[in-house]
Amino acid sequence: MKNRRLLIFRCLLAVIPFLFILFFELSLRLLNLFPQEPLFLETQADGQNVYQLNPDVGKRYFDPKQVVVPNLYPETFAREKSSDIYRIFCLGESSTAGFPFDFQVPFPAQMKLLLANYYPDVKFEVINLGMSAISSYTVADFITEVMNHQPDLIILYMGHNEFYGAYGSASAFSFTQNGALIRFYLKLQKLHTVQMIRSLVSSLKPAKQQDPENTTLMEQVIADKKVVYQSDKYNRTLANFHTNLSAIVAQCRQNKIPVLLGTLVANDKDLPPLGSAMSTRNDAPGAARVDSLLRIGAFASAHTEAVTILQRDSSAAANWFHLGQASLALGDSMAASAYFAAARDRDVVRFRASQDVNRIIRDVAASHGALIADIQAAFKKASPEGIIGRELICDHLHPNPAGYYLMAKVLTEKISQAGWLDKKPAAYHPPDSPIAVTDLDWDMGLIRVYKLLHRWPFADKKVDYGKYVPHGEPQAARIAYEYVFSHHNWVKAHYAMADYHLARKQPEKARQHYLAVNSYYPQRPEPLFKIAQTFEQLDDWREAETYYQASLARSAQKGMIYHRLAWAQWRQKKMAAAVNTIQMAISAPDLPAQERRTAKLDLAGFFLALDRVEYANRVLQDILHDAPDFQPAREMWQSLHGTGK
């Protein structure tokens, strides 16, 4: 009996700490203290209940005192999903987010525009959960929450950040290379108690000095600048990626949600390795000679020297790259492609995924019945000599707008072929260039890349934006600079560029900026109204009427739109429609008093043109009764009657 009591006592001693932790956790939850940042927020938009992506969810993985935390754009989607909605979640890293470009440029946005044209009867929600500087651990952390929001399709484009993304094996934001331990920690983070401890630890750390104009996120996330190809760390990292990706896809399949995985692309042709390891220093003079021979155009000699080095040392990424350059110059594009790929794989600064990552993506897809969108093959096909370079990539791995558009086309085609929509696509012929993307959009991204390419690991110097070469119209670069470093208001920037063109009597160019805004905010009335005005300036009244009607359908303030619509109808000799529409403008409670008088004057003019003088007289009398000093009405009255009233 004594031993039994002693056993019970010891068990109680062991259990009490856990009971205390449980009580403490429940107390924090009841008081809603130290909750984990949610992925989705409940809010309202335009009077509708919606979910919104939480811009601050990156704080789960990054300490704001140590780094500029990457965020999500606060997109919204319906809280109550109707039967006509097809909901797609796109998950991944910065290339999914669309870095360095914004709004309608990233592939999820371009894909949504394409799908809407192919399937006009379907309401597509394409929700972009891409975030810079994360890895597959973050996507695995997100996926359970995504499953709770009725996805119809999951698109995954990820794998570049397995070394330097959050919890990556060479990242400054990790604590172990043990994948199981990291996954366990991410589960623990959901506890309020753990969030409280994290907050306490962060409060004790001194804040790092930030220099956002010159410092890049790439510089801040890296801890180990040298990860050798097929080393223990390299192999362990890819094994963790395989485990994470398998778990993500398996969870989707368990929930009967189809998955589409994209193969990865990078700049192979135009980007020398960011770091190159040689097994012996004896080859350094030879490597320098190869570089010199390439510079003077002695490609055959450079090729011979590089092959000699390769026979002694196959680890040097720079030598593989030199072989690629020499082979391409000598007209052997097939060999050049293989050499460039080998250089990328052996680059010890691992911002670009090796071909092993694409093999893992294909293996996981095959194992779990997911589909592959071969984005890499499409990029090669669209690239000169079949080698991916600056034509589609703006830095080391992020596509430019043309590249993001190509990604969108490949994914859209795969969705259509898979038959998930159970509908036949319409006969739509997509344009050759990105939809609703302007020079301004290019410059917004390229200015960001300009900073990136002047900092480590590409260079290490102060950024002089005065030397930036605009993509097109110089004014676009100036407005883009203000957007990136000052007001951050994308719509304001496009409207400023449109005003610039309107001042130069270029309504067609101004319209492109209104179309860009409309492509991302299709429910807003003002860009449609502005588009209609550009057609007015060209006396294209039929198109003006079309866009005024579209603006009218989206606006709660209708008076001004009715007024302009009436004129568009009148100029097309739609007399009855114009008279009816301008009367609706006059009756609209939101029409300002001055504009109402002008609308009444126009109505009187319509009646006179129709030879309905009596009606015109009544309208003029009404105007002058309310505003005796309204000179335009008085002049019209005098032209009819020859006297003042």
Compute the average pLDDT of residues 328-344: 96
Compute the average pLDDT of residues 381-392: 97
Supply the pLDDT for residue 66.
81
Supply the pLDDT for residue 283.
62
Cβ distance 108 to 404 under 8 Å? Answer: no
Supply the pLDDT for residue 182.
94
Question: Is 255 in a helix, a strand, or coil?
Answer: coil
The upper half-sphere exposure of residue 269, i.e. CA atoms within 13 Å in the direction of its Cβ, equals 22
For residue 90, what pLDDT band results from cuts at 50, 70 and 90?
A: very high
Give the whole-angstrom CA distance, residue 470 versus residue 467.
Answer: 9
Query: Is the pLDDT score of 148 beyond 70?
Result: yes
Query: Is the pLDDT score of 211 beyond 90?
Result: no
| Annotated domain spans of the chain | 1-33, 40-193+221-268+352-418, 281-334
- Cα angle, residue 513 at apex, residues 512 and 515 outer, rounded to 5°: 65
The pLDDT tens digits of the residues spanning 607-627 come to 999 999 999 999 999 999 989
Tokens linked to 338: 């293989």
Q: Which residue did the predictor score with more confidence, 219 or 59?
A: 59
Supply the pLDDT for residue 242.
98
Supply the pLDDT for residue 70.
92
Q: How far lies 32's CA from each of 60, 191, 289, 457, 618, in Å?
A: 17, 11, 66, 43, 66
Q: Which residue did the predictor score with more confidence, 517 or 462?
A: 517
Give the whole-angstrom CA distance, residue 597 versus residue 345.
Answer: 72
Compute the average pLDDT of residues 562-580: 96
Supply the pLDDT for residue 212.
57
Supply the pLDDT for residue 279.
59
Query: Is the pLDDT score of 36 beyond 70?
Result: yes
Contacts of 500 (CB under 8 A, 6+ apart): 475, 479
**Quick one: how far is CA 58 from the chain centroid?**
16
The pLDDT tens digits of the residues spanning 152-174 come to 999 999 999 999 999 999 888 88
Give the whole-angstrom CA distance, residue 292 versus residue 302.
Answer: 8
Cβ distance 95 to 397 under 8 Å? Answer: yes
* Nearest by Cα to 481 from 466, 495, 491: 466
* Nearest by Cα to 321 from 350, 344, 353, 352: 344
Q: What is the dihedral of CA 567, 572, 573, 579, to 10 degrees?
A: -30
Q: Which amino acid is at 422?
A: D
Q: Which amino acid is at 40?
A: F
Give the whole-angstrom CA distance, residue 473 versus residue 439.
Answer: 7
Supply the pLDDT for residue 568.
97
Compute the average pLDDT of residues 196-206: 87
For residue 566, what pLDDT band results from cuts at 50, 70 and 90?
A: very high
Supply the pLDDT for residue 459.
75
The H-or-E segment that residue 583 falls in is helix 575-587
> Secondary structure of 618-636 in the HEC alphabet?
HHHHHHHHHCCCCHHHHHH
The upper half-sphere exposure of residue 107, i.e. CA atoms within 13 Å in the direction of its Cβ, equals 31
- Mean pLDDT value across the chain: 92
Please state whether 521 falls in left (phi above 0), alpha (psi between -120 and 50) or beta.
Answer: beta
- The string of DSSP codes covering 527-551 is HHHHHHHHHHHTT-HHHHHHHHHHH
CATH entry 3.10.450.750 includes domain 40-193+221-268+352-418 = no
Contacts of 67 (CB under 8 A, 6+ apart): 173, 208, 217, 220, 221
Query: Is the pLDDT score of 190 beyond 80?
Result: yes
Burial (Cβ within 10 Å: 0-12, 13-18, ≥19) of residue 415: buried
Supply the pLDDT for residue 216.
66
Supply the pLDDT for residue 275.
87
Supply the pLDDT for residue 456.
77
**Ranges 90-104, 119-133, 215-229: which has the least confidence:** 215-229
Supply the pLDDT for residue 243.
97
Compute the average pLDDT of residues 558-574: 96
- The string of DSSP codes covering 336-351 is HHHHHHHHHHH-SS-S
Question: Is 429 in a helix, a strand, or coil?
Answer: coil
Compute the average pLDDT of residues 355-371: 97
DSSP assignment, residue 465?
Answer: G
* Nearest by Cα to 493 from 505, 484, 503: 484
The pLDDT tens digits of the residues spanning 597-612 come to 999 999 999 999 999 9
What b/e string do you get for 490-527 counting C-beta neighbours within 10 Å, with b at 16 or more?
A: bbebbbbbbebbbeeeebebbbbbbbbbbbbbeebbbb
